[in-house]
Structure 1
Amino acid sequence: MSSLLRLATAGSVDDGKSTLVGRLLYDTKSVLADQLDAVTRASVDRGLSTPDLSLLVDGLRSEREQGITIDVAYRYFATPRRTFVLADTPGHVQYTRNTVTGASTAQLAVLLVDARKGVVEQTRRHAAVLALLGVPRLVLAVNKIDLVDYDEETFTVITKEFSAHATALGYPEGAVLAIPVSALAGDNVVERSAGTPWYTGPTLLHHLETVPPAPDPHDVPFRFPVQYVIRPRTPEHPDYRGYAGQVAAGTVRPGDEVVVLPAGLRTTVARIDTADGELASAEAGRSVTLVLADELDISRGDVIAAADRAPVPSDELDATLAWLSDKPLRPGARVLVKHGARTVPAFVEELTARFDEQRLSSMDAPETLELNDIGQVRVRTAEPLPVDDYAVNRRTGAFLLIDPADGTTLAAGLAGAPLPILRGDRDEVSPGP
Structure 2
Amino acid sequence: MSRSSTEHGSHDAIDPAETTIESLFADLNTVTVETTAPRADAAAHDIKQLLVEAYERGLLDSGVRELQPRDAAEAFVGSVIFASPLLVEDGVFDIAAHLFGSTVAGVPIYLLANTLFVVVLTYALLEWTGRNQQETTVFLRSLPVRVVMILVVSFVVATVLMTVWGRVNGWTSPIAAIARITVIWTVGSIGAALGDILSDNDSAPAVSAPPPTPESNDASEADAAATADRTTAAALTDSALVDAIQAEFDDLESAVGASHREAVTRIRAETVQAALDHGFGDRIQKYTSRDIAEAFVGSIFFAIPFLVEDGVFEIADYFLSVRFAGLPVAFLLNSAFVLVMILALVYWAGPQDVRIRRPLFGVIPRRLIGIAIVSFLTAAALMTLWGRVNGWADPVVALARISVVWTVASFGASLGDILPGESSGADINDDLAALGDAARNTDA
**Which TM-score tier does this pair reach, normalised by the shorter chain?**
under 0.3
Which has more strand, going by share of residues?
1
Q: Which has the higher contact order (CA 8 A, sep 6+)?
A: 2
What TM-score does the superposition give when structure 1 sets the normalisation length? 0.25
What TM-score does the superposition give when structure 2 sets the normalisation length? 0.25
Which has more helix, going by share of residues?
2
